[in-house]
Amino acid sequence: MTSEKKIWDNIKTEYIRQVEKALSSVKHPRRKEVLEDVLSHLDRRFAELEPDQQTWENFQTIVTEMGPVSDYAELLASQAGQTNRSNRKRYLLWVSLAVVVIVAAAILLPMAISQKHKEHKHLTISKAYWFHSDERPRSIPADAVPKDNDGHMLFPVDEWFEEIGSTDQYKTFLNGADKRFVLKADGHPDVHAKAERGG
Amino acid sequence: MNLSNWQTQLRKGLLDIVILNLLRHGKCHGYEMVQNLKQSEGLKIREGNIYPILARLETDCLVTSYSEASQDGPPRRYFRITSLGQKVLTDMNAHWDQMIESIQYIRKGTHR
C-alpha cells in the first residue's frame, strides 16, 4: 500500500466515521445503506484519480465535494425527523398533561380530604319557629310532620359550609352532641325537648 | 439575504423531483446520477446528498434498488423508479409546472 493510499484511507475512514455519527441521531432503517453508498462513492472517486493526482489536496477536495456530514442527517430525517418531532411533541404533551394532573391532584386532594373531614365545632341557633309556620324552608316537605302533630319546632343554624353543600355536614356534630335540651322562657314552665337533624 | 444559502436550500428541496426525473429514463446508480447533475447548470449538488435522498425515496417505495456486478470494482447498487414513483412524479411535475407558471405571472405582474 502506498503512503498516499494510507493517507486517503485515513481521510475516508474519518469522514465515514463522522457521517455515521451524524446519522446516529436519525432513527432511519436505511442508515446502513447510506453509509455503504457513501463509502462506495468515495472509493470510486479515489479510483478515478491518476497516480500523480493522489495528493492530500485532492483527497480534501473529494471530501469537501461530498458535503458536510450534517447534510446526511438533515436529508434523511426530512420525513423520519418529522415523525420523531411529531412523536416528541405528542410525548411532551402527555408529559405536560401528566404534570398538570399531578400538580392539580397535589393541590386539590388535600383540600378535598380536609373538606370531607371539615366539621362544625359549634352551631348557633338564631331563630326558632313551629314546623308548620310559613318560615319553614321549602326544602322541608310539609308532610314530613303531620299537621295535627304539635310540638315540632325548627331551629335553623347560622353555620353552613358551602363547599360541602348538604346537611350531612351537621351529622358529626349532632351525633356527638347531647340531643336532650330544655327550652326556658321567663314566666313559663321549662319544656324538655329532643333534637333531630332535619333538611 | 445570503444568495448562496438560498440556492443550496432550493437545490436540496428539489432533489426528490430531480432524482425521480433522472430515474424515469431508466436504472441508474448514485455515482452516475451525481455525474449527470454535475453537467446540469444550477443543479450541481454536494455529492453525498444524493444517498440519503435515495434511501428516503426507497423507504417511501418510490424507488427500488438492487446490486449488480461491476467490471471495474465492487458491485454497484442500481436504483429504479417504481410504478408508485411514476405516479407521484407525474403529480410532482404537474405541480412544478404550475409553480413555474405562477412565478412567471408574478414576475410579469400579470397575476390576479
**ipTM of the predicted structure?**
0.84
A3-41: pLDDT as tens digits: 888 999 999 999 999 999 999 888 888 999 999 999 999
Q: Which residues pair with B29 in a beta bridge?
A: B78
Give me the pLDDT at residue A81, please.
45
User: What SS3 state is found at B63?
Assistant: strand
| Rounded distance between C-alpha atoms, residue B64 and residue A149, angstroms | 96
Which has more confidence, A71 or A121? A71
C-alpha cell at B55: 434511501
pLDDT of A1 > 80? The answer is: no
pLDDT tens readout for residues A117-158: 677 878 888 778 787 887 777 777 777 777 776 678 887 788
Which chain A residue lies closest to B44 (C-alpha atoms)?
Answer: A65
C-beta separation of A37 from A88 below 8 A: no
Where residue A83 falls among pLDDT bands split at 50, 70, 90? very low
Instruction: Write b or e for each residue in B7-32: b if 16 or more Cβ atoms lie within 10 A of its Cβ, otherwise e.
Output: ebeebbebbbebbbebbeeeebbbbe
Q: Which residue, among A27, A75, A78, A84, would best test binding to B if mutated, counting the most B CBs under 10 Å from its CB?
A: A75
The pLDDT tens digits for A89-102 are 666 777 777 788 88
Residue the block writes with cell 404533551: A93
CB B43 within 8 A of CB B11: yes
Please state, for a pLDDT cut of 70, what percent of chain B lies above it.
Answer: 98
Query: Per-residue pLDDT averaged across B16-33, rounded?
Result: 94
CB distance B53 to B16 below 8 Å: yes
Residues in a beta bridge with B77: B67
Q: Cβ contacts (< 8 Å) between A76 and chain B: which residues?
A: 52, 55-56
State if pTM tops 0.90: no
